[in-house]
C-alpha cells in the first residue's frame, strides 16, 4: 500500500521541465530541513543566515551568497548541500533530516530558474478563482464539482456514480443530524420523484434542531469543553449554558462572523446581552488548576496561553504555541508576536487558582429562558411589596412614628447580639462567646454556623482602638489566627477581613484602602455574600462602603472553623486587640445599606427602618422580606457560567523568556502578528478588535481554516489535511483553488454557515457512491482526489446515538445540564480524589452523547475508546482507529446491549412475520440480499437453540439495562433476537458512514 504522504509527494512532484513553484516545491524542503537553524527563531540561528527571508538568502555575505539567482553553481547553499565532507555538508550529519537526491535537484533547478520567492500561500488573501474547464461540465451540481473534476481529469480518474438514494439519505442525515433516517423516511424519499427531492431532504435536515446538536459536537472538542477543571482534583464546573448557546447559534444559523465576535468578545459589545456574555465562555473552557501548592502567577500565564493557543488553532490554523518559549521555528512568528497576543487574553479578573468545586471567577448567573420568566415574576413581587410600602408612607409619617428602643431595630435573621455594655481589651487577653444553639430544638442551627466560607452573613460592631498597628478584633476560627475560619484584623490602621479555608493556599483576604482613627468610636459592618470569593466580602466604615484591596483570593475548598468554635473577641496570643468594643451583632444574611446606616446611627435611615419594622409598614415589611428572600433563594438555584471580562486597568504584559512565568523579558502591548494584515486603527485594541479583525473579509486565514474544518467533517480529511496547521510545515491543500473558492464564497454569503453545509452536501462530489475497487484503491487509497464519496467509521458519539435511536431508547431534548449515562462501576473513584460517579436514572440515561458528562481526567470510557477527543486541550483534527477494544465496547457495553434488546423488542412487535428483514432495514436502510438473509436466518436459529437449552441465560441477557423487561414477549425469542440485534449493530456497514 502506498503511504499517503508518499503518494502526495508523487502527485505534487513537478514533471521535469516544468516551472517550479516556491510554495509548492521549495518551501517545504527549506522549512523541514533548514529552518531549524536558518529560520525565524533567532535563538537557534546559525551563521546569522536566514533562509526564510529572500533578502537574507540572497545577500552578498562577503562573497559567499547562499543563493545567486540563475546560478546554482555560485550559490553557497547548493555547494553545501552537495558537499560530502561531513564538516561542510548541510544539513549537518547529526541533523535528524537528510535531503534526498530529488530534493537536492529541486533546489538546484529552482535557483537555475531564478530562485523566485513567494509568500506562503496561506498568508495571502484568497481570490475567487474562475471555475475551471472540465471534461464533463454537466456532471457538476455546483461550483465545487468543477474543481474536483478538474483534478480527476488531470489524474485520469472519473467520478463514481451517484450513491443509491437510501445510501445518500443515510449519509447526509448522519452528517447533518447525527442520527440516521427511519425506514419510513427513506421510503418517502424513494418515491419522491419530484425534482429537487434531495435538496428538499437537505433543507429539512438543516431545519431540524438535531442539526445544531450535531454541529456543536466538533465545536465542543475544538473549544475543549468539559464538565470538570482538568487538573489534579479535577472538580466539577458548570458550562452547559455555553453549550446551549452553541447549539442555538447553529440552529438559528448565526453567521460565523457573529459567532466569532460573540464568543471571543461578546462581553465587550455595546449593551451586551446575557446570551452574548454567555458566548464568551469559549475562552473559559480551558483547564484550570485548583491544586493547593500552585503558584498563582504560573497559572495566570497558563490560562492565557491556552486561550491564545486555542484561538489561534481554531481561527488562524496556526501553531502559535510554538512561539511561547522561542521564536517559531518554521513560521514567521516571533516570541514577541506571541506575547502581544497573550496581552489580549490575560486581562481578565481571575485569580490564578480555580475553586475546587464549581465555577471560578469571573462568572455570571445565566438563567434559561423559562428561568428568566420566573425571575421576572419574583422581581415583580418584590417591586409590588415595595410599592405597597411606599403607598403606606402617608404625609407626616415621620412625625407619627413612636420609636421603641433603638437596639430593637434591624432584627431580621439576627442570630446573635452582644449585651450592650462596652468591652475593654487590654492587648493581653480575649474572651469567647460560645457557639451554643439559639434554641433548644435538636438540629437547630448554631448561632455561628452560618459563618462559613460559602454561606452569607454579616457582622456589625463599634470599635474604639487604642493601638492601630495590629490585633485581631473578632474571629471565629478552629485554633488560632491562621487556622480555618474568618477574622477581622487591624493592620496599621487598615482593616482586614480574612476568610481562611487552608492557610496559606486557601485564603480570601481584603483590606480597606482607608485607615480608621485611633481612640475614636467607629462603626464597622462586614458583609459576605458567600461562595468562597473575596469579591463577595465587603467592609462598611460608619455606614459607608470602604474601597478594598484584594490581597488573596485563593479559596478553593470549603474548609471552615471546627464545629462549635466560639466567636472570639480580642484576638490571639500572638495578635491581641487593644481597645474597646460594643454592640456586636451577627446576621444570617448580608444586611442592606439602609440597615447598615441604621446600625451606624444615621438618623434618616433609622426613621426609615423604624417605619418598616415598628411603624405603619410593619405589617407589609415582612412580606417584602419574604419576597426578597424568595427571590434570593431562587437566584441561588440558577445556573452560572464562566465568562470573559476585562479588568478596569490593562494588565502589563511581558515576554516570558523560555516561556517561564517568572522569567520576564521585554514589555509588549496588544498586537497581531505582522505576517498577517494589520489591526486597523479604527478597531479597538482589545478582544473585540481582535475578533473583528479575524472575520474581516481581508483576512487570509479565518475563512479558509473554517471551511476546511467543514470539509473535513464530511470527507474525513480536510482539503488541507493538517487542519490544525496552515503554516509552512502544514500540508499543502489538495485542491487549493477549491479551498479559496469555498473561503471566498463563505465570506460572500455573509459567513452563512448553513449555506456552506448545503453547498457541500448537495455537490455531485459528496453524492458519489463510496465503493472502492482495486484500481481506485491503487490510485487513491485515502480518497484525496475524491473520485468516490466518503466512507468512514462514524464518530464515537454518532455510533452511540444511532444505537439509541434505532432501538427507540433515545430521549431527545435540546440543551440543559450534563447527564451521567451508564459507566462501569468505580471508574472515577479508582483514580480521583474521592469523586464518585452518580449514574443518572430514567430518561437521562438515553440523551444524545453531546450531553454526556465529560470528566477530563477520566473520560467517558466508551467515547474515549472510539477516538473522541480528550477535551484537555483544543482538538480540531480527526482520529479514527480500528482496535479490538472498540469491538469489545460495541459488543459488550451496557448501552449497546440494551439498545440491541430494545431493537429486538421493537422489531418483534412491529413485524412479527419477518423481523429479520425489518431489523436489518432499520439499521442499514436497505433490504438484505438473499445471501445475507440466509446467514441471519441461520444465525437466529442457532441463537434460539442456544437459549432454549439455557433459559436462565435468556433472562440474564434481557435484564441488562434499566428499561423494563417486556412481559408480552417470549423470553427465549427475545434473547435470541437481542443477540442478532447486537450483531446487526456491530456490522461494519452500520457503524460506518458510506
Partner 1 sequence: MNQHSFSRRHFLEKGTHGLGSAALASLLAQTALGESAQSPKPKAKRVIYLFQSGGPSQIDLFDHKPQLAKFHGKDVPESIFNGQRKTGMTAGQTAFPVARSTFNFKQAGQSGQSLNADLLPHLSGIADEISVIRSMHTEAINHDPAITFFQTGFQLAGRPSIGSWLSYGLGSENANLPAFVAMTSNRSGQALYDRLWGSGFLPSKHQGVRFRSGKNPVLYLNNPDGISSDLRRSTLDHLAELNRIHHQEFYDPEIETRIAQYEMAFRMQMSVPELTDVSDEPESTFKLYGEDAREPGTYAHNALMARRLSERGVRFVQLFHRGWDTHGGLVKQLGQRCKETDQASAALVTDLKQRGLLDDTLVIWGGEFGRTVYSQGNLTEKSFGRDHHPRCFSMWLAGGGIKQGQSIGRTDDYSYNIVKDPVSVHDLHATILHLLGIDHERLTYKFQGRHYRLTDVHGRIIKDLLG
303-342 binders of partner 1 (CB under 8 A): 319, 321-322, 329-331
Taking alpha carbons only, the member of 464, 463, 465, 445 closest to residue 455 is 445
Is 994 a residue that touches partner 1 (CB under 8 A)? yes
Angle 7-11-12 from CA coordinates, rounded to 5°:
115
- Letters for 35-74 (x = contact with partner 1 by CB under 8 A, - = none) are ----------------------------------------
Q: What radius of gyration, in Å, describes the C-alpha atoms of the chain? A: 35
Q: Which is nearer to partner 1, 633 or 826 (CB)?
A: 826
Alpha carbon distance 954, 941 (integer Å): 14
Give the x-and-dash track for 101-140 against partner 1 (CB under 8 A): xx--------------------------------------
| HSE, side-chain direction, 13 A CA sphere, residue 561 | 26
Q: What nine digits make up the cell of 965?
A: 423487561
By rule CB under 8 A, what string of x and - marks binding of each residue 676-715 to partner 1? ----------------------------------------
Nearer to partner 1, 145 or 302 (CB): 302
Contact assessment for residue 341 and residue 672, using Cβ atoms and an 8 Å cutoff: yes
When asked if residue 777 is in the footprint of partner 1 (CB under 8 A), the reply is yes
Quote the least distance from Cβ 86 to partner 1, whole Å: 8
CA distances from 538 to 124, 457, 494, 513 (A): 54, 11, 14, 12
Cβ neighbours of residue 709 closer than 8 Å, sequence gap 6 or more: 218, 222, 718, 723, 876
x-marked contacts with partner 1 along 778-797 as a string, rule CB under 8 A: ---x---------x-x----
- Among 824, 909, 912, 914, the residue binding partner 1 under the rule CB under 8 A is 824
**Residue 884 near partner 1 by CB under 8 A:** yes
Out of 46, 199, 663, 950, the residue judged to bind partner 1 by CB under 8 A: 950
If one asks whether residue 618 binds partner 1 (CB under 8 A), the answer comes out as no
Q: Name residues whose C-beta falls within 8 Å of residue 930's C-beta, 6 or more positions apart in sequence.
A: none
What's the min distance (Å) between Cβ of 121 and partner 1?
A: 15
Can you tell me the distance from the alpha carbon of 299 to that of 311, in angstroms, rounded to the nearest whole number? 18
Q: Please select the residue that binds partner 1; options are 5, 564, 680, 912, rule is CB under 8 A.
A: 5
Which three cell numbers mark 740? Answer: 479559496
Q: Does 491 bind partner 1 (CB under 8 A)?
A: no
| Nearer of residues 103 and 213 to partner 1, judged by Cβ | 103
Alpha helices in 638-735 (DSSP H): 687-694, 702-715
User: Which one of 637, 649, 913, 931 is in contact with partner 1 (CB under 8 A)?
Assistant: 931
List Cα–Cα distances, 340 to 315, 389, 927, in angstroms: 17, 56, 60
Strand (E) positions, 159-311?
A: none
Q: Which stretch binds partner 1 (CB under 8 A): 237-245, 253-261, 465-473, 975-983?
A: 975-983
Task: Output the smallest distance, CB 504 to partner 1, in A.
Answer: 3
Q: Which of 215, 223, 960, 972 binds partner 1 (CB under 8 A)?
A: 960
> Buried (b) or exposed (e) across 379-413, using 16+ Cβ within 10 A?
eebbeebeeebeebeeeeeeeeeeeeeeeebbebb
Q: Shortest gap between Cβ of 943 and partner 1 (angstroms)? A: 7
Q: Which residues, 201 to 260, sit near partner 1 by CB under 8 A?
A: 230-234
Binds partner 1 (CB under 8 A): choice among 110, 958, 972, 977: 958
User: Which string of x and - marks every residue 578-617 that binds partner 1 (by CB under 8 A)?
Assistant: ----------------------------------------
Identify which of residues 560 and 857 has a Cβ nearer to partner 1 in the complex. Answer: 857
Is the Cβ of residue 192 or residue 932 nearer to partner 1 in the bound state? 932
Mask for 160-199, x = binds partner 1 (CB under 8 A) = ----------------------------------------
Q: Does 983 bind partner 1 (CB under 8 A)?
A: yes
Of 295, 384, 404, 408, which one interacts with partner 1 (CB under 8 A)? 295
100 binds partner 1, rule: CB under 8 A = yes
Give burial (CB, 10 Å; 0-12/13-18/19+) of 501: buried
Q: Which of residues 716-735 bind partner 1 (CB under 8 A)?
A: 722, 724-725, 727-730
- The reply to whether 975 sits near partner 1 by the rule CB under 8 A is yes
Q: How far is the CB of 94 from partner 1 (least distance, A)?
A: 7
18 binds partner 1 (CB under 8 A): no
C-alpha cell at 133: 474547464
CB 919: neighbour CB atoms within 10 A?
28
Interaction between residue 955 and partner 1 (CB under 8 A) = yes
Give 321 or 358: the residue with its C-beta nearer to partner 1.
321
Length of the chain: 994
- Please state the closest distance from residue 727 (CB atom) to partner 1, in A: 5
Which CA distances in Å does 294 have to 291, 299, 483?
A: 6, 8, 19
Distance of closest approach, residue 893 Cβ to partner 1, in angstroms: 5
Question: Which CB sits closer to partner 1, 66 or 869?
Answer: 869
Q: Between 196 and 826, name the residue whose CB sits nearer to partner 1.
A: 826
By the 10 Å C-beta count (0-12 exposed, 13-18 middle, 19+ buried), 522 is classed as middle
State which of positions 530-589 bind partner 1 (CB under 8 A).
Answer: 554
457: closest CA among 512, 497, 507, 405?
497
> Which residue lies nearer to partner 1 by CB, 600 or 907?
907
Distance, CA of 854 to CA of 818 (rounded, Å): 8
Choose between 93 and 372: whose C-beta lies nearer to partner 1.
93
Q: How many residues bind partner 1 (CB under 8 A)?
A: 120
Give me the torsion for CA of 209, 212, 214, 218, rounded to 10°. Answer: -170
Nearer to partner 1, 94 or 193 (CB): 94
Shortest separation between residue 446's beta carbon and partner 1, angstroms: 28
Restricting to residues 831-870, which ones interact with partner 1 according to CB under 8 A?
831-834, 856-859, 861-862, 864-865, 867, 870
What DSSP assignment string belongs to 177-203? HSSPPPHHHHHHHHH--STTHHHHHHH
Give the span between the Cα atoms of 966 and 902, in whole angstroms: 10
Which range touches partner 1 (CB under 8 A), out of 407-415, 581-589, 808-816, 958-966?
958-966
Among 4, 71, 381, 412, interactor with partner 1 by CB under 8 A:
4
Q: Could you tell me the smallest distance in angstroms from the CB atom of residue 418 to partner 1?
A: 33
Instruction: Find, among 746, 635, 676, 591, the residue nearest to 128 by Cα.
Output: 746
Task: Establish if 982 lies at the interface with partner 1 (CB under 8 A).
Answer: yes
Q: Where in 500-519 is the site for partner 1 (CB under 8 A)?
A: 503-505
Nearer to partner 1, 573 or 826 (CB): 826
Inter-helix orientation angle 753-761/165-177, to 10°: 160
Handedness of CA 688, 691, 693, 696 (dihedral sign): negative
Is residue 989 involved in binding partner 1 (CB under 8 A)?
yes
**DSSP SS3 for 776:** helix
- Determine if 98 is a binding residue for partner 1 (CB under 8 A): yes
Task: Collapse the DSSP code of 98 into the 3-class scheme (helix H, G, I; strand E, B; otherwise coil) and give the result.
Answer: coil
Name the residue with cell 514589555. Answer: 667
| Residues ≥6 apart with Cβ < 8 Å to 467 | 427, 490, 518, 578, 579
For residue 93, the 8-state DSSP code is T
With H, G, I as helix, E, B as strand and everything else as coil, classify residue 981. helix
Based on the shown chain and the rule CB under 8 A, indicate whether residue 829 belongs to the binding site for partner 1.
yes
Amino acid at each position: 500500500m502506498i503511504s499517503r504522504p508518499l503518494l502526495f509527494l508523487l502527485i505534487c512532484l513537478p514533471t521535469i521541465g516544468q516551472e517550479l513553484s516556491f510554495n509548492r516545491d521549495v518551501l517545504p524542503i527549506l522549512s523541514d530541513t533548514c529552518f531549524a537553524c536558518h529560520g525565524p527563531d533567532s535563538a537557534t540561528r546559525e551563521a546569522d543566515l536566514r533562509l526564510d527571508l529572500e533578502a537574507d538568502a540572497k545577500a552578498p555575505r562577503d562573497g559567499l551568497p547562499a543563493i545567486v539567482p540563475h546560478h546554482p553553481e555560485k550559490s553557497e547553499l547548493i555547494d553545501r548541500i552537495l558537499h560530502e565532507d561531513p564538516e561542510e555538508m548541510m544539513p549537518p550529519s547529526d541533523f535528524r533530516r537528510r535531503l534526498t537526491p530529488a530534493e537536492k535537484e529541486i533546489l538546484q533547478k529552482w535557483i537555475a530558474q531564478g530562485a523566485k520567492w513567494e509568500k506562503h500561500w496561506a498568508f495571502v488573501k484568497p481570490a475567487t478563482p474562475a471555475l475551471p474547464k472540465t471534461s464533463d461540465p454537466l456532471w457538476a451540481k455546483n461550483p465545487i464539482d468543477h474543481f474536483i473534476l478538474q483534478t480527476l481529469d488531470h489524474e485520469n480518474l472519473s467520478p463514481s456514480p451517484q450513491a443509491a438514494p437510501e445510501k445518500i439519505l443515510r449519509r447526509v442525515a448522519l452528517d447533518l443530524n447525527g442520527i440516521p433516517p427511519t425506514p419510513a423516511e427513506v421510503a418517502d424519499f424513494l418515491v419522491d420523484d419530484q425534482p429537487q427531492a434531495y435538496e428538499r431532504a437537505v433543507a429539512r435536515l438543516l431545519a431540524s434542531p438535531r442539526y445544531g446538536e450535531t454541529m456543536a459536537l466538533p465545536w465542543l472538542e475544538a473549544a475543549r469543553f468539559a464538565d470538570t477543571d482538568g487538573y489534579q482534583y479535577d472538580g466539577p464546573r458548570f458550562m452547559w449554558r455555553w453549550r446551549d448557546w452553541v447549539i442555538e447559534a447553529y440552529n438559528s444559523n448565526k453567521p460565523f462572523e457573529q459567532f466569532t465576535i460573540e464568543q471571543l468578545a461578546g462581553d465587550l459589545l455595546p449593551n451586551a446581552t446575557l446570551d452574548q456574555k454567555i458566548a464568551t465562555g469559549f475562552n473559559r473552557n480551558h483547564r484550570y488548576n485548583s491544586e493547593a501548592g500552585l503558584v498563582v502567577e504560573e497559572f495566570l500565564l497558563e490560562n492565557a496561553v491556552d486561550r491564545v493557543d486555542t484561538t489561534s488553532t481554531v481561527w488562524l490554523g496556526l501553531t502559535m504555541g510554538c512561539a511561547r518559549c522561542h521564536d517559531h521555528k518554521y513560521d514567521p512568528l516571533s516570541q514577541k508576536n506571541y506575547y502581544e497576543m497573550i496581552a489580549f487574553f490575560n486581562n481578565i479578573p481571575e485569580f490564578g487558582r480555580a475553586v475546587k468545586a464549581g465555577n471560578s471567577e469571573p462568572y455570571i448567573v445565566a438563567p434559561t429562558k423559562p428561568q428568566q420568566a420566573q425571575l421576572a415574576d419574583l422581581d415583580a413581587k418584590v417591586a409590588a411589596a415595595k410599592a405597597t410600602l411606599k403607598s403606606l408612607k402617608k404625609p407626616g409619617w415621620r412625625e407619627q412614628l413612636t420609636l421603641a428602643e433603638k437596639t430593637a431595630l434591624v432584627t431580621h435573621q439576627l442570630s446573635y447580639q452582644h449585651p450592650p455594655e462596652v468591652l475593654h481589651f487590654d492587648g493581653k487577653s480575649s474572651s469567647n462567646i460560645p457557639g451554643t444553639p439559639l434554641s433548644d430544638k435538636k438540629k437547630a442551627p448554631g448561632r455561628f454556623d452560618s459563618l462559613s466560607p460559602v454561606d452569607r452573613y454579616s457582622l456589625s460592631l463599634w470599635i474604639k482602638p487604642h493601638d492601630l498597628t495590629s490585633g485581631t478584633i473578632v474571629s471565629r476560627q478552629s485554633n488560632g489566627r491562621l487556622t480555618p475560619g474568618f477574622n477581622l484584623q487591624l493592620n496599621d490602621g487598615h482593616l482586614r477581613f480574612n476568610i481562611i479555608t487552608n492557610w496559606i493556599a486557601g485564603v480570601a483576604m481584603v483590606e480597606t484602602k482607608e485607615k480608621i482613627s485611633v481612640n475614636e468610636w467607629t462603626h464597622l459592618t462586614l458583609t459576605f455574600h458567600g461562595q468562597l470569593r473575596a469579591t463577595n466580602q465587603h467592609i462598611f466604615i460608619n455606614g459607608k462602603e470602604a474601597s478594598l484591596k484584594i490581597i488573596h483570593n485563593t479559596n478553593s475548598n470549603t474548609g471552615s472553623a471546627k464545629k462549635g468554635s466560639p466567636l472570639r473577641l480580642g484576638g490571639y496570643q500572638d495578635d491581641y486587640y487593644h481597645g474597646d468594643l460594643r454592640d456586636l451583632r451577627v446576621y444570617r444574611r448580608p444586611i442592606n445599606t439602609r440597615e447598615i446606616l441604621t446600625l451606624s446611627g444615621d438618623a434618616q435611615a433609622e426613621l426609615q427602618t423604624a417605619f418598616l419594622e415598628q411603624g405603619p409598614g410593619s405589617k407589609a415589611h415582612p412580606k417584602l422580606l419574604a419576597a426578597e428572600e424568595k427571590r434570593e433563594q431562587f437566584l441561588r438555584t440558577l445556573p452560572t457560567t464562566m465568562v470573559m471580562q476585562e479588568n478596569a486597568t490593562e494588565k502589563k504584559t511581558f515576554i516570558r523568556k523560555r516561556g517561564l512565568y517568572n522569567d520576564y523579558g521585554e514589555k509588549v502591548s496588544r498586537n497581531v502578528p505582522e505576517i498577517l494584515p494589520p489591526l486597523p486603527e479604527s478597531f479597538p485594541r482589545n478582544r473585540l478588535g481582535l475578533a473583528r479583525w479575524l472575520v474581516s473579509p481581508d483576512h487570509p486565514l479565518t475563512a479558509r481554516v473554517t471551511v476546511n474544518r467543514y470539509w473535513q467533517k464530511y470527507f474525513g480529511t480536510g482539503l488541507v489535511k493538517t487542519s490544525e496547521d496552515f503554516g509552512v510545515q502544514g500540508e499543502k491543500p489538495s485542491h487549493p483553488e477549491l479551498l479559496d473558492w469555498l473561503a471566498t464564497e463563505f465570506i460572500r454569503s455573509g459567513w452563512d454557515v448553513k449555506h456552506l453545509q448545503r453547498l457541500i452536501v448537495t455537490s455531485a462530489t459528496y453524492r458519489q457512491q463510496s465503493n472502492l475497487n482495486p484500481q481506485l484503491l491503487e490510485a487513491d487509497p485515502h480518497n484525496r482526489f475524491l473520485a468516490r464519496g466518503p466512507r468512514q467509521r462514524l464518530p464515537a458519539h454518532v455510533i452511540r446515538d444511532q444505537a439509541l435511536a434505532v432501538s427507540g431508547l433515545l430521549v431527545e431534548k435540546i440543551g440543559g445540564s450534563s447527564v451521567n449515562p451508564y459507566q462501569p462501576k468505580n471508574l472515577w473513584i479508582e483514580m480521583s480524589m474521592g469523586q464518585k460517579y452518580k449514574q443518572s436514572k430514567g430518561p437521562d440515561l438515553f440523551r444524545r452523547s453531546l450531553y454526556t458528562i465529560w470528566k477530563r481526567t477520566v473520560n467517558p470510557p466508551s467515547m474515549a475508546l472510539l477516538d473522541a477527543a480528550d477535551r484537555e486541550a483544543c482538538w480540531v483534527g480527526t482520529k479514527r482507529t480500528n482496535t479490538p477494544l472498540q469491538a469489545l465496547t460495541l459488543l459488550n457495553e451496557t448501552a449497546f446491549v440494551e439498545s440491541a434488546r430494545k431493537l429486538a423488542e421493537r422489531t418483534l412487535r412491529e413485524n412479527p412475520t419477518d423481523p429479520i428483514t425489518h431489523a436489518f432495514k432499520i439499521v442499514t436502510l436497505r433490504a438484505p440480499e438473499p445471501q445475507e438473509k440466509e446467514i441471519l436466518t441461520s444465525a437466529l436459529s442457532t441463537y434460539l437453540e442456544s437459549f432454549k437449552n439455557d433459559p436462565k441465560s435468556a433472562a440474564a441477557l434481557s435484564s441488562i439495562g434499566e428499561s423494563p423487561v417486556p412481559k408480552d414477549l417470549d423470553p427465549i425469542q427475545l434473547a435470541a433476537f437481542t443477540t442478532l440485534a447486537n450483531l446487526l449493530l456491530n456490522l461494519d456497514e452500520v457503524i460506518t458512514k458510506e
